[in-house]
Amino acid sequence: MEGSGTPRRRSPATALLIAVLLCAGLVLWLRADVEGPHTSAGTPAPVDLRGLVAATTRTEVRAAPPDRARERVPSGQIVHPRRTVPVYDRPGNGGSAVAKLTPDQFGDTWVPVVGRRPGWVRVLLPSRPNGSTGWLRTDRLDHARTSSLVRVHLARRTLELYDDGSLVGSWPVAVGAPATPTPTGRTFVLGQLTDPQQSYSPVIIPLGTHSESLDTYGGGPGTVALHGWTDPSVFGRAVSHGCVRVPADALDALRNVPLGTPVLIDAD
Amino acid sequence: MNRTVSAAAGGLLLCAAPASVALIGGAGTSTAAGTASSAYGIRATGALPIPATPEVVSHDGSLVTDSLASAPDNPLLELGLLEVSARDGQAGATVADLGVGAGILAMLPEDLATQLQPVCEGLGQVPLEEVTDPVTGDLLEGALEDALNQVGGSSPIDLGAVTALDLGALLPAELTGVCDLIAGDVGLAEATAVEATCTGHRGDTRIADLTALGLPVEIDTEEANATTEIPGVLTLTVNRQTDNPDGTFTVDALVLDLFGQEEVVVASATCGRVTRDEPEDPEDSDPPSPTPVVTDLPVTG
């Protein structure tokens, strides 16, 4: 066998190991020979969106700026990211990416606009904590306007649906029990889903808000939703775990509400 | 058995996977009137820096071009013709005959090169069936720890950099590729042409004849941010698309991360807009009708 002149014969694995050692050490060795500072060329290192948490109903984005106008009715403008986009804590060059927003969650992702700067919109996010917002650049978004608005009054235990500012209907609803209250603030219709695992409602309308008293519920992230209920005696009472249970005719009306429609929940 | 390495081109092909999203951060030069478009052929950061070369920036939106017949003198890269151009909202960069890593072998300490040469020469004489798994074709681990100790005793190399590697996934052909690399027959990565172009927020990448360790790399350059790697040694990212905070958009045709310590960007184009005409208040359309999706999200009830 050739190579008999070598001091000892090595297996291919050994050769590989040495090769890898060689490669891995090469840059270290080169670095020792290179004088002068490393160049940064004034260019910040790219941040991989894959390293950012997606703002969804299952996640928390602690760095997201809070909603500072929790009772103001949004304009009705809603936006949909055509592809995954970064969510910034501030508009402009000074902002930092704190999360990303994906094009779909329960169907297409539509979020309401609650602020605007040239080239930027501030939107409500579906992630925890409640009342989270973030800034998106406008050029990767589809823009639309919803004429609908949902209001939930906890003390009155009623839900109102408006269209273009006109009251469409008002219904008695079940809201969160004292130990598991429905959270107040402004949120939005995150999606529409049918859940084959349950029979209490033909459709469930998850909102972009969560129970403040339950971190998880039934294996889910504590998402608050609008949905029907089989026992009509609950309507007008504070008995739920945070969701808003609505009568069948209210659910029929709410099924037509576009995703991204603002939902204002107050203590009245 | 505790396997410790996964590497080389088989892993390379298997690892090739498009990322679903863009990158953020990165280059982009602002002007008071908007953002400039720019392009460069090659740039390296890390242990062996190479500034962006050649580089053009269109501050006023007019067309600027540059070219270079070959790479600046360096031990990392070999390059043919580099051409770059930029204008308002458009940019492009092309690099011909890219070779990464071949030249650096000449800089090896002589004793290490001498030590490796007979090992690789003997490689072809070892019946591979004796050292590979008959089912998977993977290399069987042997006296790796011993070898580590033998080499480590006299090497300036930081052995900690390789102890985390997983050697088990290597195929015999890949092993040969490594030795070819050592012999200087192939580079870590090579391509005959690399091109990046952007128009507004659209980026395109074209790479011809991309190889790593002399083996073809099958990676979809139409997918944004597709990556493939030899863990711990080399990571290739093609068509890296970056949304910059200043509103510019960058496409890097090929990005090589060497040992996690040296990043080489080949053919980069950044599109800005000097005269902003983007719709600040885009016309709203009617929202789509909601359609329920079937899923089992438990809500608070």
Q: Which residue has the tokens 């309308």?
A: A205
A227 carries an active-site annotation: yes
Write down the mean pLDDT value for chain B. 69
Is B6's pLDDT higher than 70?
no
Whether B155 maps to a domain, the answer reads no
A185 belongs to a structural domain: yes
Give the number of beta-carbon pairs within 8 Å between A and B.
Answer: 322
pLDDT in tens, B221-240: 888 888 887 766 678 899 99
CB B14 within 8 A of CB B229: no
> Token pair of A37, please?
């500072």
A141 and A152 part of one domain: no
Interchain proximity A48–B140, CB inside 8 Å: no
For residues B296 and B147, the model is more confident at B296
Residues from chain A contacting residue B104 (CB–CB below 8 Å): 26, 30
* A34 neighbourhood in chain B, CB within 8 Å: 47-49
Segment 65-124 of chain B within 8 Å of chain A by CB: 75, 104, 107-109, 112, 115-116, 118-123
B31 shares contact with chain A (CB less than 8 Å): no
Residue A240's Cβ-side half-sphere holds a number of Cα atoms within 13 Å equal to: 34
Say yes or no for a CB contact (<8 Å) between B298 and A86: no
Is there a domain that residue B300 lies in? no
Per-position pLDDT tens, chain A of length 268: 333 333 333 343 444 444 444 544 443 333 333 322 222 222 223 456 778 999 999 999 999 999 988 888 998 999 999 888 999 998 877 788 999 999 999 889 999 999 888 788 999 999 999 999 999 988 889 999 999 999 999 999 999 999 999 999 999 999 999 999 999 999 999 999 998 888 899 999 999 999 988 888 887 899 999 999 999 999 999 999 999 999 999 999 999 999 999 999 999 9
Q: What pLDDT is recorded for position A197?
A: 85
Look at the alpha carbons of A86, A89, A95, A97 in this order and tell me if their dihedral is positive or negative.
Answer: negative
Whether residue B9 is predicted with pLDDT greater than 50 in this model: the reply is: no
Cβ <8 Å between B156 and A29: yes
B164 vs A: CB within 8 A: no
For residues A169 and A113, membership in a common domain is answered with: no
A153 is annotated as an active-site residue: no
Instruction: Please check whether residue A91 lies inside any domain of the structure.
Output: yes
Q: Which two tokens stand for residue B5?
A: 């390495």
Shared domain for A190 and A166, answered yes or no, is yes
- The verdict on a CB contact (< 8 Å) between A17 and B19 is no
- Whether residue A194 and residue B292 make contact (CB cut-off 8 A), yes or no, is yes
Same structural domain for residues A54 and A126? Answer: yes
- Over the stretch B184-208, which tens digit does the pLDDT of each residue have? 666 778 899 999 999 888 889 999 9
- Return the closest-CA partner of residue A261 out of A202, A193, A192, A195: A192
**Residue type, position A242, single letter:** G
ipTM of the complex: 0.73
CA atoms within 13 Å, Cβ hemisphere of A232 = 7
Please give the average per-residue pLDDT across B132-152, as a whole number: 47
Residue that wins the pLDDT comparison between A163 and B219: A163
Three-state DSSP at B156 gives: coil
What is the tally of structural domains in chain A?
Answer: 2
Domain that holds residue A113: 49-145
Phi-psi region of B97 (alpha: psi -120 to 50; beta: other; left: phi over 0): left
Q: Please tell me which residue of chain A has the smallest CA distance to B55.
A: A41
Q: Which residue of A has its CA nearest to B75?
A: A30
pLDDT, residue B165, reads 37
Q: Which of residues 183-202 of B touch A (CB under 8 A)?
A: 188, 201
- pLDDT score, position B121: 54
* pLDDT tens track for B68-103: 888 777 777 888 889 999 998 899 999 999 988 765
**Residue B207 structural domain:** 1-145+161-277
pLDDT in the model for residue A44: 29
- Of A80, A153, A227, A241, the catalytic one is A227
Domain count, chain B: 1
Domain membership of residue B301 (yes or no) is no
pLDDT exceeds cutoff 90 at B247: no
Instruction: Average the pLDDT over each of A44-48, B112-116, B171-175, B265-269 and give the range with the smallest value.
Output: A44-48
- Based on the fold, state whether residues A234 and A179 are members of the same structural domain: yes
